[in-house]
Amino acid sequence: MSTGLDITVPTTEATPFTRLDAVVIGAGITGMYQLYKMRELGLNVRAYETGSGVGGTWYWNRYPGARVDSQAEIYNYWISEELYKAWKPSERFPAQPETEAWLNFVADQLDLRKDIQLNTRIVSAHYQEDTGRWDVRTADGEHIDTRFLLTCCGPLSAPLINRFPGQESFRGEVHHTGLWPKAGVDVKGKRVAVVGTGATGIQVIQSMAPEVALLKVFVRTPQYMVPLKNPKYSQADWDHWTSRFHETKQRVRSTFAGFDFDFANKPWAELTPSERTRILEKFWAEGSLSMWLATFPEIFFDEKIGEVVSEFVREKMRERLRHDPDLCRVLIPTRHTFGTHRVPLENGYLEVYLRDNVEAVDCRASPIERIVPEGIQTADGRIHDVDVIVLAVGYDAGTGGLARIDIRGRGGRSLKELWQKDIRTAMGFQVHGYPNLFMTTAPLAPSAALCNVPTCAQQQVDWIVGCVDYARRNGKKVIEATKEFEDAWVRHHDELASATLLSKTNSWYMGANVEGKPRRLVAYAGGVGAYNSQCDEEAAKGYPGFAMR
């Protein structure tokens, strides 16, 4: 069986022992910015990246159809107007190759490569209480001694690979979308199974359908979706956005989800049914995540209002499925309301199921039981013969990237074991008992679940850099979140989360896709603007929730 699922880390010629001020784990959009900002402080810092290139998400996720779902003008760095202006995106929502190329361009413009070590996987990081430093080890035996450990692993970087019994027996190819081969996968004229219909699965399905002989889509949790509008960008378009650079930079840090749009309508109760419909039609036509994150905030709190909006979207879906009763039953969600799961953008996804070579397999009626040499066996005993299996089954969100590293704090306490019992952080930046370990887009902070990642990543890095700089200027070498502050943040986070419908759904937002994972909303539900205000307040007071010595 060829799986394409193993990450091979080539041996590098590295110094066996390295002493640094700071280690950055990851060289994606967050890690690159963290490296840049730490260098600005004058620290001796290096970023370590498992892959053979920079880009993080956009290095690993090469599957057909991969593209951003934030507009290019805000899926960006806010380092300088000059850097922003220098790269003109070709369209509103660029595809993976262009996004990866842009990140490589940034790495060159900022001269980051000299401080990035590729093909290097961090396997352990142990805090040394006698020195107040971290002992970090790589897969190829390098030993690094560092004052600060800065994890930029990404909230969606630990793919769920071995999901089904018998997977190793399959005679064909198995590929997870998050570990897609750089050389691509030849599916032309083949029988292909796609397992999963979230944002990634939808992109794969709509891209592969015209190429394959047969496409079987295994649908367990159908999703609401919004048709993507993706116009090309001219130089005049980009000049317009460049002229608004400073305005947009400030705006994205104050909105609910880090976009340049926000909830701005009258409260639902003050609108007539026809006014509500007009608003929904307006945002539906915009073809972006504004349909989710700029219509009515009540969809996150009031199930009745959520149901009205859901029915609006369902009817749009029924029309595109030509009211086919079987397709509507399998592909239109009824068990959760619009916005309580990640809302995908799509381009012709539903029409795929009208093709003769595409079959939707209802996994609610007959779940996948196991993978057999011929393909996939469902609970009804049916064997679905295929040549290629594509796993679009998601990630261990928030915690998974860090849990793959043996991180041990004071007293040798394992972070992985702690989070297996209780997922907790202080503002998403630190965990009590792990001094000088700083995290970004981590649990209990804004992240991919409810935020335009470049917005929340840069804000969080800026806060970390400010905290480290404050400590250094005051002669402090160790920074650690207090137990009291961490407890207070967890309570605050849970109070906000429990008031939303997000906490009542079974999705990766709540860790429901990983067996045994503690239930807690992985992302902060209070919004990016409110979170930023609290971060600013903590900094203005001298970081009282973070003990320094």
pLDDT single digits (tens) 512-521: 999 999 999 9
Q: Residue by residue, what is the 3-state secondary structure of 446-464?
A: CCCCCCCHHHHHHHHHHHH
Question: Residue 11 domain-assigned?
Answer: no
The 10s digit of each residue's pLDDT in 422-432 is 999 999 999 99
Question: Residue 309 domain-assigned?
Answer: no
Average pLDDT over the chain, rounded to an integer: 96
Q: For the chain, what is the radius of gyration of the CA atoms? A: 23
The 10s digit of each residue's pLDDT in 475-492 is 999 999 999 999 999 999
pLDDT at 14: 44
Whether 376 shows a pLDDT value over 90: the answer reads yes
Asked if residues 479 and 431 have their Cβ atoms less than 8 Å apart, the reply is no
Whether 347 shows a pLDDT value over 60: the answer reads yes
Residue 264 — pLDDT band, cuts 50, 70, 90?
confident
DSSP 186: -
pLDDT at 361: 99
CATH at residue 434: 3.50.50.60
DSSP 445: B
pLDDT at 208: 98
| Distance in angstroms between the alpha carbons of the first and the last residue of the chain | 54
- For residue 422, how many other CB atoms are within 10 A of its CB? 9
Expressed as residue numbers, the domain containing 525 is 17-158+396-548
The 10s digit of each residue's pLDDT in 269-287 is 999 999 999 999 999 999 9
Question: Residue 480 domain-assigned?
Answer: yes
Question: Residue 515 domain-assigned?
Answer: yes
Question: Residue 487 domain-assigned?
Answer: yes
Residue 9 — pLDDT band, cuts 50, 70, 90?
very low
- Supply φ then ψ for residue 445, to 5 degrees: -130, 160
83: exposed, middle or buried (Cβ count in 10 Å: 0-12, 13-18, 19+): middle
Structure tokens at 149: 């450990």
Structure tokens at 166: 């018998």
pTM for this structure?
A: 0.95
Question: Residue 338 domain-assigned?
Answer: no
- In angstroms, the CA 202 to CA 214 distance is 16
Structure tokens at 548: 């320094």
Structure tokens at 62: 């090469």
375-378 vs 368-372, strand pairing mode: antiparallel
Question: Residue 45 domain-assigned?
Answer: yes
The 10s digit of each residue's pLDDT in 415-463 is 999 999 999 999 999 999 999 999 999 999 999 999 999 999 999 999 9
Coil, strand or helix at 539: helix
pLDDT at 532: 98
Domain count, the chain: 1
Question: Residue 306 domain-assigned?
Answer: no
pLDDT at 265: 87
Whether 499 shows a pLDDT value over 60: the answer reads yes
For the chain, give the percent of residues with pLDDT over 70: 97
Strands (E), 210-318: 214-219, 226-227
Asked if residues 209 and 358 have their Cβ atoms less than 8 Å apart, the reply is yes
Whether 12 shows a pLDDT value over 80: the answer reads no
Whether 2 shows a pLDDT value over 60: the answer reads no
pLDDT at 303: 98
User: Which residues lie across from 24 on neighbouring strands?
Assistant: 47, 150
